[in-house]
Amino acid sequence: MSYFSARCLVTGGAGFLGSHLCERLLDHGHEVLCVDNFFTGRRTNIEHLLDNKRFELMRHDVTFPLYVEVDRIYNLACPASPVHYQHDPVQTTKTSVHGAINMLGLARRVGAKILQASTSEVYGDPSVHPQPEEYWGNVNTIGIRSCYDEGKRCAETLFFDYRRQHDLAIKVVRIFNTYGPRMHPNDGRVVSNFVVQALKGEDITVFGDGEQTRSFCYVDDLVEAIMRMMETPADVTGPINIGNPGEFSILELAEKVIALTGSNSKIIRLPLPQDDPKQRRPDITKAKQILDWEPTIRLEEGLKKTISYFDNLLAQKPATA
């Protein structure tokens, strides 16, 4: 797929997913303004881009208005792991809702096309499996995960209301579990948890009976889908699921990580957190039809790259740098 050169704003650009997107946009010849407040994003994720003349870094919180001139806005800003988004749940909701309002306002002022990085969490603990975009979800509005789930649901509402009310060019993707290099080692997500625990020789903590399932998409595949979505015709708004439809139990993932790391770690079980989904798997029919996209990187291949990244990271001092 070919892309014309554009001025791109990536909010949350120093985060795990945002840094990979910034990198890919630069590879395609775009100018990139990376905006991050560094709550969960890290400078080390984008340090290798700082010498690029088409890359600019700005420390800014999207809950405050931003005045810049851009053609494309990729709105990725928001803590995405339970450990981080539950640390300050009020701020998490503000980031999703106020952040969406501010970025939509910017897009309207400058005539930019804007993409919202929504999430599979809008489906809650689903009663439909796999989850198609037409499914409205099963979400607890007052639970400990609600700051993220409901914040993202409200952001989607805002995007479609801006389109209906202001004819804004919007794109919405619902991202399922994504993993790869530059994940935060302490973000509490299952892949990073298991890999770090295995590399340290610690017990691997599985919540519940471990039979709950997830689908894991490698970050390179995910970024490709995001870029394809941004370049779709104006009448394609989404939401579109992007993720890997391959489904694995949490126990299967733990065993695979132990095997690939050669670790002596033991698997222990802890109580299941509140509202933890029992099943999570995308129906990517629309992504295949509209974006001509599906994941190409198998779980074992992606895990090897992720393990190598964390192995190098843990060898540094401090380990969480």
Catalytic residues: 148
Q: Residue 55, Cβ neighbours under 10 Å: how many? A: 20
Three-state SS annotation for the chain:
CCCCCCEEEEECCCCHHHHHHHHHHHHCCCEEEEEECCCCCCHHHHHHHCCCCCEEEEECCCCCCCCCCCCEEEECCCCCCHHHHCCCHHHHHHHHHHHHHHHHHHHHHHCCEEEEEEEHHHHECCCCCCECCCCCCECCCCCCCHHHHHHHHHHHHHHHHHHHHHCCCEEEEEECCEECCCCCCCCCCHHHHHHHHHHHCCCEEEECCCCCEECCEEHHHHHHHHHHHHCCCCCCCCCEEECCCCCEEHHHHHHHHHHHHCCCCCEEEECCCCCCCCCCCECCHHHHHHHCCCCCCCHHHHHHHHHHHHHHHHCCCCCCC
Other Cβ atoms closer than 10 A to 296: 11
Alpha-carbon distance 89 to 92, whole Å? 5
What's the longest Cα–Cα distance across the chain?
58
Burial of 108 (0-12, 13-18, 19+ CB in 10 A): middle
